[in-house]
Amino acid sequence: MANVELTIGMITRETLRVLENQLTFTLCVNRDYDDQFAKSGAKIGNVVNVRKPVRFRNSSGQGLDLQDLVETSVPVVLTTQYQRAFAVTSQDLALNIDDFGKRFINKAVISLANQIDQDGLAQVINFNFEVGTPGTIPNAIATYLAAAQKLNENAAPMDERYIIMSPGMNATIIPALAGLFNPQVMVSAQNRKGIMAKQTFGFDWYLDQNTALFTTGPFGGVPLVNGLLQTGSNLITNGWTAAAALRVRRGDVFTVAGVFSVNPQSKQSTGSLMQFTATADTSSDGAGNATIPINPAIVASGPFQNVSVAPTTGNALTFQGAASTASPRGFAFHPDAITFATADLPLYGGLDMGDRQTDEQIKIPMRVIRDYDINLDRAPLRIDCLGGWAPLYFELGVRIAS
């Protein structure tokens, strides 16, 4: 029986199927699909607003205590049009979908999926909580349980938690746990696949070769807070080695002596020092002063309070890791820590073929277009999706240094 020429719908569905099987990190995060562009189509630069819930401060007594409703959202810019394109012939389209998928779609979509995951994991350095020691791969479960502790202290939901590991982290932790008692099925799965089994120590574990590499700043000096009861998104400091173009690198994590994190609901101190991350590269002036832009912004009171007390003059800063240390960052998180927002790309008229579909599971709309190039007598086929990454809740993610 002769093969029937593949339809564009068959190619689009196969593209979505392969994408779902190749994505790792992206399948574990919040995926917000905005259907307002379903008819007109979106483009790079469009914004999707992902809503965050309101918060309340504690209140009691007979008297009415009205609180202002402050509902916030995170604007996610659709920054990247991911695409793969190649030319096909009529003979190629006469293949069955399995052969066409193996020869062309698989290779294109595997590459595209890796690019999406890599962009997502690049967001990890924006998070302020970190466990482990940069330059030392964790070889005991204690480091991963410390990440769970951070999530617990920040009231992260228990239902869905994930860990993304670098290849080195995966290769180190499995033999380190070989002597521990585990259910036989779990041990068998680890031995067979060479990765940690799902639902181990409260996490689903995944290996991803795209874990971000981060290098700590050069530091230098004895940095101290320089200013009384500071709040907001900048921390004024002194005590640095003078006049350096770079002291703190964007993504560096540090604590401030005496400043503890608080439970987001009760506002009680967790007993753990609050961790901050620098949001931009920072230099020191000729007197050793430096103002570090930080995340999260310091809030010492009210419904969004996040520290036990505001930093004040003389409090010492302690940075994670030794200066200029390059190492990968794993990530322990709840899906709402990060979002990948997507929207439909436009479909144009006058094409040879064109289709756009959204898989209900992965919520990533894919567009597949084929046209005819009269100049070179070929038929270019392109696969596209439009998306943008952004952190949602910094308290729901913990970096794991290695």
Give the DSSP letter string of 86-155. Answer: EEE-HHHHTS-HHHHIIIIIHHHHHHHHHHHHHHHHGGGGG---EESBTTB---SHHHHHHHHHHHHHTT
Residues 221 and 181 in one domain: no
Do residues 165 and 257 share a domain?
Answer: no
Per-residue pLDDT tens listing for the chain (402 residues): 344 467 888 889 889 989 988 999 999 999 988 888 887 889 999 998 887 655 565 677 778 777 766 667 889 999 999 999 988 877 787 778 888 888 888 999 999 999 999 999 999 999 999 999 999 999 999 999 999 999 999 988 888 999 999 999 999 998 877 665 454 544 444 443 445 556 688 899 999 999 999 999 999 999 999 999 999 999 999 999 998 889 999 999 999 999 999 998 889 999 999 999 999 999 999 999 999 999 999 999 998 899 999 999 999 999 999 999 999 999 999 999 999 999 999 988 777 888 999 888 888 999 999 888 888 778 889 999 999 999 999 999 999 999
Distance of CA 63 to the CA centre of its chain: 44
The dihedral of CA 187, 191, 192, 193: what is its sign? Answer: positive
- Boundaries of domain holding 178: 127-213+329-336
Whether residues 191 and 238 fall in one domain: no
- Residues 99 and 134 placed together within one structural domain of the fold: no
Long-range contacts of 345-353 (CB under 8 A, 24+ apart): 345/41, 345/42, 345/43, 345/81, 345/384, 345/385, 345/386, 346/40, 346/41, 346/42, 346/43, 347/41, 352/379, 353/7, 353/8
If one counts the domains in the chain, the total is: 3
Does 61 fall in a domain? no
| Residue among 197, 190, 211 at smallest CA distance from 25 | 211
Note whether 12 and 118 are same-domain residues: yes
3-state secondary structure of 200: strand
Please report, for residues 151, 158, 237, 311, the alpha-carbon distance to residue 272 in angstroms, rounded to integers and kept in the order given: 12, 20, 22, 15
Strand partners, 333: 162, 397
Are the C-beta atoms of residues 295 and 276 closer than 8 Å to each other? yes
Distance of alpha carbon 330 from alpha carbon 163, whole angstroms: 7
**84 domain residue, yes or no:** yes
The DSSP call for residue 203 is B
- Is 166 inside a domain boundary? yes
Q: Is residue 337 within 8 Å of 25, Cβ to Cβ?
A: no
Which CATH number do you get for residue 243? 2.40.30.290
Q: Is residue 288 one of the residues assigned to a domain? A: yes
Please name the residue that has the structure tokens 């199927």: 17
Burial 116-131 (b: 16+ CB within 10 A, else e): bbebbbebbbbbbbbb
Q: Do 260 and 155 fall within a single domain? A: no
Entry pTM:
0.86
Identify whether 394 is part of a domain.
Answer: no
